[in-house]
Structure 1
């Protein structure tokens, strides 16, 4: 607990000026380029009737196959994160992986994203953007069947690289099992 307390006491908001509180972009000019990776996950819970349509692939809409289009949207979001989040740096991404699958027990579409770069800043925001936009795309493509969908649990579950090194979430899922990364 002492080490955790120390970490919180050293925590600060890096995107605001300590004296004025004004927003600022963090300088990464002097940082060394290292391998960096982040993984994020989330889900969209879908009412039974709409979930059944999706499972039968009847939601193969005029816009295309739901999970395939959502995957492509997630990849595009990771690539565009610097344009969506005002103080993010543009990054050369080496890998963007977005996986979506159906979970019958939860009546949900689960999403996991993994982003890698060799650069001066981390890719957590890119992984979060990929997951978020992929799930928003599922909502968009399924909303004709139901608007009672719920996007939940979007979070970073693992990151590597940079000054802070390796970090992994200790969060448990609904069944009390450590989240798969």
Structure 2
């Protein structure tokens, strides 16, 4: 097996994307933050002492997407053209679903940027609410869609 991030001598290397076509790329990821019902109510009523949880988590996620090449070794810096982060509260399950969409026009995809954004948005929710609910769980962070590039389209079923 030939590894793409190591040369023939076993040294780490960044993959050379010079010959790859510049195409529009999109990645959509999701994650879940599970919590106590009272915590979710406090978030929705904007009663968390640290402020508007969703707005701060959105900003953290956007910033994280832009910082991905500083966090993931050998990840290419990309000209991100759009980051959208949405939150869907499910009071019946007492959880928040985070959905992140990242776009670029480049030679490589933005899956990692979307995953990092979703992860940091989830961690920010935890950080902002941990004073009232230390039992929160971050779960199910996954790629649900990607398009662009040689490998084409992926849709999670």
TM-score bracket, shorter-length normalisation: over 0.9
Q: In the alignment, what sits opposite 1:45? A: 34
Structure 1 residues 102 and 13, CA gap change in structure 2 (3 angstroms): farther
Aligned length: 157
Q: What 5-or-longer segments of structure 2 have no aligned partner?
A: none
Contact 1:74 1:129 in 2 (8 A): yes
Q: In the alignment, what sits opposite 1:149? A: 136
Residue number among 80, 87, 94 corresponding to 1:107 in the alignment? 94
Contact 2:115 2:142 in 1 (8 A): yes
Per the TM alignment, residue 13 of structure 1 is displaced from its structure 2 partner at its CA by 4.2
Contact 2:61 2:119 in 1 (8 A): yes
Per the TM alignment, residue 22 of structure 1 is displaced from its structure 2 partner at its CA by 3.6
Q: Name the TM-score, length of structure 1 as normaliser.
A: 0.81
Cα distance per residue 1:31-51 (max 9 Å; x no partner): 111111000000100022322
Q: Distance in 2 between matches of 1:75 and 1:108?
A: 21
Cα distance per residue 1:41-70 (max 9 Å; x no partner): 0010002232232232211x33x3100000
Residue number among 22, 28, 50 corresponding to 1:33 in the alignment? 22
Q: In the alignment, what sits opposite 1:4? A: none
Supply the RMSD in Å over aligned alpha carbons: 1.5
Q: Name the TM-score, length of structure 2 as normaliser.
A: 0.93
Q: In the alignment, what sits opposite 1:79? A: 66
Q: What 5-or-longer segments of structure 1 have no aligned partner?
A: 1-10, 171-181
Query: Which is richer in strand?
Result: 2
Per the TM alignment, residue 12 of structure 1 is displaced from its structure 2 partner at its CA by 6.1
